[in-house]
Chain A
């Protein structure tokens, strides 16, 4: 599986000269308080022993270093090529010019980023010192890692130099839903691929034996059958074809608990299906059904997967209807494609679009990701509303099944093989 890349902020990967802001540490502040208070009380009360109390603290303060670095060089670069939600990633930070000062590096996290523990570079450090900072993006999407806070300290902990700089943005891809088996259509388009088709062709899987006709290649002669029957017979092989799969991701609604909301499940399921079919060398396309309709025509390969992920995560979600579209674009749907729809089925225009696609002869499977219900305030009206809502949802799903569109429910926790098992165990017959 290929991860999405870090953002293109070049500044974050360049070596930068960053100014250091120095101040007294909390420890020095406390020692100063003791010194000043003891000396002031000694003067006011004419008690010399109080000046003695101030002596050790004053001596410690006198070691405050006079020469401090005013600038340090920092270079930040991601070590991983991408990031997946919930999976730890690392940043490499090269720090130079800190001299004899200890440096503590810590990520001040951005939204939905879990930083790792701070890292300390003890003094004296080589120049530049290389540090690996771990972090974990907890939710998919394009987000800034946060700020890098570097604190320089002298060996007595009296002076502190602060440095803060922005960290790069990351495109964190959803964790793909697990899927081991794939749905295979009975009728495949005539493109070279890896699925044995019913039609005979140039594949490797044995299909049968037939009599020789002029023009056949002699290397296909089946000699045992020829000697047994007395006429020349040939071995025939199944054609190997590819399958076109279009994933429709419905981002018009985001309901449920954050982290397992319907949009989370849509993106995770879509990523899992796209990744699995691309691994099987099928052609995979994407239709992002959101407030703005966007799509990628079917294609193959790692670069295509990256393009699909870009579209999947960059489309704005929300409750806006997708322009009231009830026809999915023809360019995104090659003839004979399998269409896998991930949706909570809350948007009526998407339901109409699926109906239209089915009526155009496509094989469609809907993965229902709705895993929450409207809130209940324990009143009769509320209970009645919920019942009506449930009936409406059941009616939508029943109508889809009557059209020949199977609707399966996925809770986001189990493997996608569980709900899709009935369709992955055998070839899915294409029919109008």
Chain B
């Protein structure tokens, strides 16, 4: 088989598709940061600073993707002084792990608020979506590869839901229903893990 740039199948990405992916990253980043920051008045000391850091990192991570997709075209079009400045900024933007810093900042932002398990669970889902979107924008994996991960992601979210449920139950005062719910949660966790293990073993065979 001879693959040429035109025959590379799924990979020659059209510009609108790349822009759509980056747009989805931007939206997910904004949603994640906003969700972790809400309510703005309810946070402990340092919430504002962490929020600023999270917003800055979110913007930088989107800029990183933009710089990766079209940076070289701007370099040729600008004058020498402006070009050097743009080069420096692009190097900084491209070089730092903005997405990682944003993830940590968002988790800190969540910790600075009072415990709210269901809110944290949804935040986890949003963070995972954001990271998958960044990966999609960078690498443009095939739809088949993404579909293959769906059971695993669903299981992970299920586990997360069980853990969040357990955390929520901690706050519920003890009653007649409470032990039954805990047993059901434990069984659900065992089933979820049991579903994953054969799949995991098949992948590592």
Residues of A bordering B, CB below 8 Å: 25-27, 29-31, 33-34, 37-38, 41, 45, 47-60, 62-63, 65-66, 92, 116-122, 125-126, 129-132, 134, 153, 155-157
On whether the beta carbons of B115 and A47 are closer than 8 Å, the reply is yes
On whether the beta carbons of A56 and B163 are closer than 8 Å, the reply is no
On whether the beta carbons of A63 and B200 are closer than 8 Å, the reply is yes
Identity of the chain B residue whose Cβ is nearest the Cβ of A134 in the assembled complex:
B5
On whether the beta carbons of A48 and B111 are closer than 8 Å, the reply is no
Distance in Å: Cβ of B199 to nearest Cβ of chain A:
9
B113-138, CB < 8 A from A: 115, 117, 120-121, 123-125, 127-128, 131, 134-135, 138
Q: Which of B4, B8, B160 contacts A56 (CB 8 A)?
A: B160
Interface centre among A52, A63, A129, A156 (most CB of B within 10 A): A52
CA distance A18 to B161 in the complex (A): 46
On whether the beta carbons of A53 and B107 are closer than 8 Å, the reply is yes
Identity of the chain B residue whose Cβ is nearest the Cβ of A105 in the assembled complex:
B3
A53/B124 contact (C-beta < 8 A), A33-B103, A37-B107, A157-B135 known: yes
A30/B160 contact (C-beta < 8 A), A53-B123, A63-B203, A129-B1 known: no
A52/B163 contact (C-beta < 8 A), A41-B107, A130-B3, A157-B141 known: yes
Q: Which of A59, A116, A131 contacts B152 (CB 8 A)?
A: A59
B1-55, CB < 8 A from A: 1-5, 8-12
Q: B residues within 8 A CB of A60?
A: 149, 152-153, 156
CA distance A101 to B78 in the complex (A): 40
- Count of chain A to chain B residue pairs whose CB atoms are closer than 8 Å in the complex: 160
On whether the beta carbons of B117 and A27 are closer than 8 Å, the reply is no
Query: What are 28 sample pairs from A and B whose C-beta atoms fall under 8 A apart?
Result: A25-B139, A27-B131, A30-B97, A30-B99, A30-B135, A38-B107, A47-B120, A49-B115, A49-B121, A49-B163, A50-B120, A52-B120, A52-B162, A53-B121, A55-B124, A55-B159, A56-B153, A57-B156, A59-B152, A60-B152, A119-B5, A129-B3, A130-B1, A131-B3, A132-B2, A155-B145, A157-B139, A157-B145
A59/B107 contact (C-beta < 8 A), A53-B123, A66-B204, A157-B141 known: no
On whether the beta carbons of A30 and B5 are closer than 8 Å, the reply is no
Interface centre among A45, A47, A121 (most CB of B within 10 A): A47
A34/B5 contact (C-beta < 8 A), A49-B164, A56-B124 known: no
Q: B residues within 8 A CB of A63?
A: 152, 200, 203-204
Distance in Å: Cβ of B53 to nearest Cβ of chain A:
14
Q: Which of A29, A37, A122 contacts B9 (CB 8 A)?
A: A122
Interface centre among B1, B125, B162 (most CB of A within 10 A): B1
B59 at the interface (CB under 8 A from A): no
Interface size on B, residues (CB 8 A): 57
Q: A residues within 8 A CB of B141?
A: 155, 157
Q: Which 7 pairs show the lowest CB-CB distances between chains A and B?
A: A56-B156, A52-B163, A53-B124, A52-B160, A49-B117, A27-B135, A49-B167
CA distance A306 to B139 in the complex (A): 44
B187 at the interface (CB under 8 A from A): no
Q: A residues within 8 A CB of B153?
A: 56, 59-60
On whether the beta carbons of A52 and B3 are closer than 8 Å, the reply is no
On whether the beta carbons of A57 and B131 are closer than 8 Å, the reply is yes
Distance in Å: Cβ of B203 to nearest Cβ of chain A:
5
On whether the beta carbons of A125 and B131 are closer than 8 Å, the reply is no
Q: B residues within 8 A CB of A30?
A: 97, 99-100, 103, 131, 134-135
B147-204, CB < 8 A from A: 148-149, 152-153, 155-157, 159-164, 166-168, 170, 196, 200, 203-204
Q: Which of B3, B124, B142 contacts A121 (CB 8 A)?
A: B3
CA distance A52 to B204 in the complex (A): 24
Identity of the chain A residue whose Cβ is nearest the Cβ of B104 in the assembled complex:
A37
B108 at the interface (CB under 8 A from A): yes
Identity of the chain B residue whose Cβ is nearest the Cβ of A156 in the assembled complex:
B149
On whether the beta carbons of A119 and B157 are closer than 8 Å, the reply is no
CA distance A26 to B127 in the complex (A): 16
Identity of the chain A residue whose Cβ is nearest the Cβ of B166 in the assembled complex:
A48
On whether the beta carbons of B104 and A33 are closer than 8 Å, the reply is yes
CA distance A25 to B99 in the complex (A): 14
A56-B157, A63-B204, A117-B5 provided; 16 other pairs, C-beta below 8 A? A25-B139, A30-B100, A33-B100, A48-B170, A49-B164, A52-B161, A53-B124, A54-B124, A55-B159, A58-B156, A62-B200, A120-B3, A126-B1, A131-B3, A155-B145, A157-B135
